[in-house]
A and B are shown apart, each in its own frame.
Chain A
Amino acid sequence: MEIKVRLFATLRENRGKELQLSLQDKATPEDVINKLEIAKADVAILLVNGKDGNYTRELNEGDVVSIFPPVGGG
């Protein structure tokens, strides 16, 4: 299946802003970060289609996974 990955802040370095990934069925966000060689420790916020995601929930065709390192402000 095809999914879209959006990366932000320092996670863009050497990876780019937006990637289209082909994954096997039943792939999870954990598979996504492994494929992109992103350490869990560097992920502060994980969204699937704009909502709080988790590493183990299976993704669906066309999902958008957004990954952020620790960010804050106000």
Chain B
Amino acid sequence: MNGYAGKILRINLSDHTYKTEQLDHDMALKYIGGRGLGSKIMADEVSPTVDAFDPENKVIIATGPLTGTPTPAGGRYMVVTKSPLTGTIASSNSGGFWGSELKFAGYDLLILEGKSPKPVNVFIEDDKISFKDAGHVWGKIVSETTSILAEEAPDKAKILCIGPAGENLSKIAAVMNDINRAAGRSGVGAVVGSKNLKAIVVKGSSKPTIADSEKLKELVKESRGKLKDNGVTGQGLPTYGTAVLVNIINESGVFPTNNFQTTYFDKAENISGEHLAENFLIKRESCFACPIACGRYTKADEVEGGGPEYETIWAFGAACGIDDMKSVIKANFWCNEMGLDTISAGVTIAAAMELYQRGKITDADIDEGLSLKWGAGDSLVEWVKKMGRRDGLIGDKLAEGSYRMAEHFGMPEVAMAVKKQELPAYDPRGIRGQGLQYATSNRGGCHVRGYMISPEILGLPQKLDRFAIDGKAEWVKIFQDLTAFIDSAGLCLFTSFAIDGEGYANLTNAVLGTDFTQEDILEAGDRIWNLERDYNLKAGIDPSQDTLPKRLLKDPIPDGPSKGNVTRLEEMLPKYYEIRGWSEKGIPKAETLEKLGV
């Protein structure tokens, strides 16, 4: 079985047993792997109405067929489960080196079932599987957990774990690997915590077989050339990291500031990628087989570690009215240590600041010495730590994410979230397609389910008028479908700045020995999208939730280059439903599901 390892490892945490199963090759080709195959297994095995923290919920950790191959940036894995944050199917992906190592150990997927009676670590060394008590690392931060387990593990083993946030069932907890890479979104770390699983240590010794290794060598060379020649992947990302976006998004007047109350941050230069590179960057970091190396390794005072990414800089920066890069770097560092999603953590703090601004949170609610005033960078690190440990009233409510926190304090409308998941760093009022994408994302507020910023702001693969309505539904669908394929193949989305659908099909065919066309991979993406939609509908996430916070629909941007705009979602949604083959009410038609074989 080329590309795929050919095996699934099913782990029962309740009784510490496991079994190995053969991968269904036909099913794998239909749903590709990663996000798609993980979602298919969820749909087959886990009731959509299960409570996320019920032991009946499962966590599927899935590589794709290109994970661990020489394909550029082919090191991704997915964590698929029912989300405690959104109630939707969750699939959060991460880079680093853990995913490829799982493949080398001989597994395409891990299926984690049940709940351990007490904290446990799972060690995987090829076909040797062991369960070890995790009492000594439970409660510990991510770097410390990783160091301790590295001592107990085979040389060069890769370590995935949760931090205190996952143990404490924070609904915005991440799964961490290689210390500072995160499967960040949708609270997947909390589901792992609910199973009393602290870490998975993996070491493998075999490489996946390649159908046509000569052809792959040629295509890898060509793809690497495209990535190097492309201005974004060959120059912008390596030099400045993702933070290079701060200025372009701000200059376009779509950089949400003070919890989306305004969209231009006059101090953006202080948190820009240029400023980061000049003052804080120690070195670049790359994931498995990745020539881009967009990762940053930075230092601010006593803190030194991976990141921060653009989204993080925005969430702890402009979203909170903060322009102190040192505070942002430290907050990012502590999010990684606590095992928190940096987007949701920052946006939830921003929502708390607005609740304070509006008198819903008062000084009496706030821990001594801390502040929730706009721009209060000095308090960020402490809020992150309190969030991770559910310490105090505010810390406990922050751990629930913005929606539940804002609801508790009587003003849910300040939660800048879709399907209860915090929105990322682009105000959709000035980027129409991105607004449609946010509203229809199958895991709630998210930019990487269909990155419309690429055509609407960056001009890739072509420049679209960001204020136009016409044609946006079609673009969103193509971006969502292609992304679903990339997420399932085990590749990094950033490769799509330089590699097109045909390029992906060629790489996939060389690895798997298939004859996929560009149309086939888009159809696979469409199939995966509809499978997720179907699951969400059965989970009770009805189409009325394909919407945005009222502020983004009703309140025009008050000033700056995008002044006067609202999202105009209702003008795009009917067309989107139509081209998806869904009813006017947003339900996939029977013939659509049949055609796609869902």
Contact = CB atoms under 8 A, between A and B. Distances in A.
Contact of B232 (A8, A17, A71): A71
B18 interface: no
Contacts of A12: 274
Interface string A32-70: 000000000000110101111000000000000010111
Contacts of B244: 8-9, 71-73
A44 B245 CA distance: 13
B463 interface: yes
A74 B453 contact: yes
Interface size bucket, B side? 35 or more
A10 B235 contact: yes
Contact of B231 (A17, A44, A66): A44
A10 to B, nearest CB: 7
B396 to A, nearest CB: 31
B232 A70 contact: yes
Interface stretch (B122-130, B216-224, B248-256, B323-331): B248-256
Contacts of B463: 52
B458 A45 contact: yes
A27 to B, nearest CB: 20
Interface in B237-289: 237, 239-245, 247-248, 251-253, 269, 273-274
Pick the most buried of B244, B457, B493, B494: most chain A CB atoms within 10 A of its CB: B244
B493 A74 contact: yes
B560 interface: yes
A72 B460 CA distance: 9
Contacts, number: 91
A44 B462 CA distance: 11
A55 to B, nearest CB: 13
A72 B26 CA distance: 36
Contacts of B231: 44, 69-71
B245 A6 contact: no
Given A8-B274, A9-B273, A72-B497, A50 B242 contact: no
Nearest to A17: B269
Contacts of A68: 247-248
A54 B245 CA distance: 21
A71 B236 contact: yes
Nearest to B234: A70
B561 interface: yes
B451 interface: yes
B309 to A, nearest CB: 8
A72 B311 CA distance: 12
A23 B28 CA distance: 62
A49 B561 contact: yes
Contact of B236 (A47, A66, A69): A69
B274 A9 contact: yes
A19 to B, nearest CB: 15
A73 B272 CA distance: 13
B242 A74 contact: yes
B100 interface: no
Given A9-B240, A45-B458, A71-B232, A66 B274 contact: no
Given A8-B274, A51-B561, A52-B463, A70 B236 contact: yes
B184 to A, nearest CB: 13
A50 B310 contact: no
Given A72-B497, A73-B243, A74-B493, A50 B252 contact: yes
Contacts of A47: 251-252, 561
A73 B274 contact: no
Contacts of B245: 71-74
B236 A72 contact: yes
A73 B295 CA distance: 11
Nearest to B250: A50
B476 interface: no
A73 B235 CA distance: 12
Contacts of B402: none
A39 to B, nearest CB: 12
A52 B464 CA distance: 10
Given A9-B273, A74-B494, A44 B451 contact: no
A50 B255 CA distance: 12
Interface in B448-478: 448, 451, 453-454, 457-460, 463, 465-466
B294 interface: yes
Contacts of B560: 50
B366 to A, nearest CB: 34
Contacts of B251: 6, 8, 47, 50, 66
Contact of A74 (B447, B459, B465): B447
20 contacts: A8-B244, A9-B247, A10-B235, A17-B269, A44-B458, A68-B248, A69-B231, A70-B236, A71-B240, A71-B245, A71-B248, A72-B232, A72-B236, A72-B237, A72-B460, A73-B241, A73-B294, A74-B242, A74-B245, A74-B447
Q: Which 5 A-B residue pairs are closest in the complex by CB-CB distance?
A: A50-B561, A70-B231, A73-B242, A72-B232, A71-B236
Given A12-B274, A71-B231, A74-B453, 8 more contacts: A8-B248, A44-B231, A44-B459, A68-B247, A72-B458, A73-B237, A73-B244, A74-B451
